[in-house]
Structure 1
Amino acid sequence: MKIIDWYILKRYLGTFTVMLLLFIPIGIVVDVSEKINRILENKVPLSSVLAYYLDFTIYFANMLFPILLFLSVIWFTSKLANNTEVIAILSSGISFNRFLRPYIVGATLISLFALLMGLILVPKASVGYNDFKYKYLKRNSEVRETQNVYKQISPDEFIYVSNFNFQSKTGFNFTMEKFKDNKLLYKIRASRITWNPEQKNYTLSSYFKRSIGPMGDQLEKAETKDLKLDFDIEDLTPAVYAAETMTLGELNKFIERETMRGSANINAYLVVKYKKYSVPISTFILTIIAVSVSSMKRRGGMGVNLAVGISLAFTYIFFDKIFGTLAEASTIPPLFAVWFSNISFGILAIILLRNARR
């Protein structure tokens, strides 16, 4: 790499790092101002708060990754253009494609970083982020977010809970039915089912089991009963929450299992999976758009480039969120929904790049 490549690459990575260091503290301050009363009311330990904001930093940085990258490239490239550095570089005989090379190298480094975050760091941070939120920050009326969960956990087994409490890992009005040859073998009911992580089993309160037999039914009752049941706690949690807290390997196995069960939440799991790959690819697309838009010296200066950049960045995020939500709630293919923003903005990047070359 030549001196000019190192110069641009350092500006690329340096500006992006500065953007992260500027916006993350702002996000933390805003989050603290919203949650400080609840934290003090619940007397949350300082160690838990610090761990939460470490997870929040990773979670927040991953969420704002595309817009921060886009704005950082627009910012320092506009400065290069206003200082006529871009004109000087291109006038020396360097083609626009050659000028773009250090940007692509920088985009490659950041996309690898984003991929590492999405596959390893973000799932772990999501666990701590969501656990803290549901344990300390949600009121009882807000905690029970999962309602009327009905799932087929095997070809002949079905479970149901009316709602699920994240704080206590407890489901309410639990029912489990076992069939064979379309005939009911037994039915289990309980007013409450609680997951015991240490024992890897469930505690059922107001337990009642009715077994259907040829010579008559058998009834079994108990105030509480511990059982090992063939389903996981994720089966009682919201689709996106469960998917966000899994690594890629865990998510692939989970999707395969849920597909066999005929789960209605497959699209939500697939959206989370495909986004792990789409975000790193968006690094290259947004970099090319940002360079193409901001490499020309404009009469309005950096303000015009930033205005255009912010508009495009929020348009990208808007399409990403809208189509992701539609894929979860409708029949739109998740792969198309997740990649729609990259495809449409990829076409825009090609058009803008051709105009910039001229």
Structure 2
Amino acid sequence: MKMINRYILNEAKMPIFFGISLFTFIFLIEIIVSMLESIIVKGISIIDVSRMISFYLPMILSQTIPMGIFLGVMVTFGNLTKYSEIIAINSIGISLKNLLKLVSLIGIMGTMFIFFLQESIIPRSYVKLQQLSIKMVYNNPVFQLKDKVLIDEVDKYKIYIDEIDPKTKDAKNVLIFFKDNTKYPTLITGERTYWENAAMILENSKFYRFKDDGEEQLRGEFKEKKIPLTDYFKDVEIKMKDIEGMGVRTLYQEYSTREKEEKLPYLVEINRKIAVPISAIILSILGVLLSVGNKRSGKGTNYGVAIGIIFIYIVFLNLGMVFSYRGLISPFLGVWFSNIFLMILTYSLYRKKGKVI
């Protein structure tokens, strides 16, 4: 029995790894395309892009591990069935029930690993992602600026950007309103502006100061004027606002402190962070039941069936969450409906296959 278990586990390693990698890559495609745009258009370094992708990875893995286990199990047991190895295994007294116990251990391991990611790795990755984003803004503020934009988030200034040069990333025709507690703020202009060490450098700059009645009081010119933006960044505190980056324990703590009308999103997310890992156990068992006893099923068929069921699962999960957020159904039913669907399908297949195998 132990030798057979080792053999099956050894056969399942690569298909499961391939399945997780495949679904993870699919989920990463949109992020990768966005990051490539950032490299080409916005001038972000490849190193920073790679780090951002690495911080996204734990969040994606928490969703793709159940899918990858499902696909890997289907491919493994599809091959065992195709080459009649399942018949040989049954002939030595190993029943379908024994095989399901073995595979459910794989699902349990996947579930425990996802809980570990959610409680330990993902919150840290989320904070690191925010820190890296702020660092990129600090080192290269221009990456988030566009033509005809007024920025009112800097402590002492309002900044209007008329045009950004697509090649040099320099700004043209910049207006800066200095917030100096007067009725008419001091106006600073610059023909060309570039960024250096978290400061705006204005070339051919002029400034205008006004009296309380709006009459011009003073004007001057500078060949170069430096406007420091360090105040905008020095007091930034990282605070996790997106509930997707929180662990179940943190979500529950936040849920306990919220008003009744604010609790719903936290309750939905708590259920999701429990239901998705549990689905790894259900999907691992379902993968066996869909594969054994069907000799005509090849890898292509297994891939198609696996992707189809995963698609249905994702649709049910997302629809349930949308209905839950809108208050149309309870968060428990909305989030867990997809798992209930998988359990019903698994049980019906077990009743059917258990009589034959």
TM-score, normalised to structure 1, is 0.65
Verify the 8 A CA contact 1:8 1:103 in the aligned structure 2.
Answer: no
Runs (5+) with no aligned partner, structure 1: 142-164, 170-231
Counterpart selection for 1:284 from 278, 281, 286: 281
Report the AA paired with residue 31 of structure 1: I
Counterpart selection for 1:349 from 340, 346, 349: 346
Give 1:256 shift.
0.7
**CA RMSD for the aligned pairs?**
3.3
CA distance in 2, matches of 1:242, 1:56: 14
Tell me the matched-pair count.
267
Give 1:35 shift.
2.8
Partner residue in 1 for 2:265:
268
Verify the 8 A CA contact 1:12 1:103 in the aligned structure 2.
Answer: no
Verify the 8 A CA contact 2:78 2:297 in the aligned structure 1.
Answer: no
Instruction: Give the alignment of 1:292-307 within 5 angstroms.
Output: 292-307=289-304
In structure 2, the CA distance between the partners of 1:5 and 1:244, relative to structure 1 (3 Å rule), is same
CA distance in 2, matches of 1:310, 1:14: 18
Partner residue in 1 for 2:95:
95
Partner residue in 2 for 1:54:
54
In structure 2, the CA distance between the partners of 1:138 and 1:299, relative to structure 1 (3 Å rule), is farther
Give me the identity figure in percent.
25
Partner residue in 2 for 1:310:
307
Verify the 8 A CA contact 2:69 2:107 in the aligned structure 1.
Answer: no
TM-score, normalised to structure 2, is 0.65
Counterpart selection for 1:319 from 303, 316, 321: 316
Instruction: Give the alignment of 1:235-254 within 5 angstroms.
Output: 242-254=242-254
SS across alignment from 1:89: helix
CA distance in 2, matches of 1:66, 1:114: 9
Report the AA paired with residue 291 of structure 2: S
Instruction: Give the alignment of 1:12-161 within 5 angstroms.
Output: 12-24=12-24, 28=28, 31-129=31-129
Verify the 8 A CA contact 1:298 1:304 in the aligned structure 2.
Answer: no
Report the AA paired with residue 244 of structure 2: E
Give 1:68 shift.
1.8
SS across alignment from 1:33: helix
In structure 2, the CA distance between the partners of 1:66 and 1:265, relative to structure 1 (3 Å rule), is farther
Superposed CA offset, 1:262-282 (max 9, x none)? 3x3422111211222112211
Superposed CA offset, 1:19-73 (max 9, x none)? 3345545655653333323234333244432321111222222232332221111
Larger mean CA deviation between 25-34 and 341-350 belongs to 25-34
In structure 2, the CA distance between the partners of 1:68 and 1:331, relative to structure 1 (3 Å rule), is same
Give 1:85 shift.
0.7
Runs (5+) with no aligned partner, structure 2: 147-151, 156-236
CA distance in 2, matches of 1:56, 1:168: 28
Superposed CA offset, 1:203-245 (max 9, x none)? xxxxxxxxxxxxxxxxxxxxxxxxxxxxx997xx9xxx52122
Larger mean CA deviation between 121-130 and 6-15 belongs to 121-130
In structure 2, the CA distance between the partners of 1:233 and 1:32, relative to structure 1 (3 Å rule), is closer
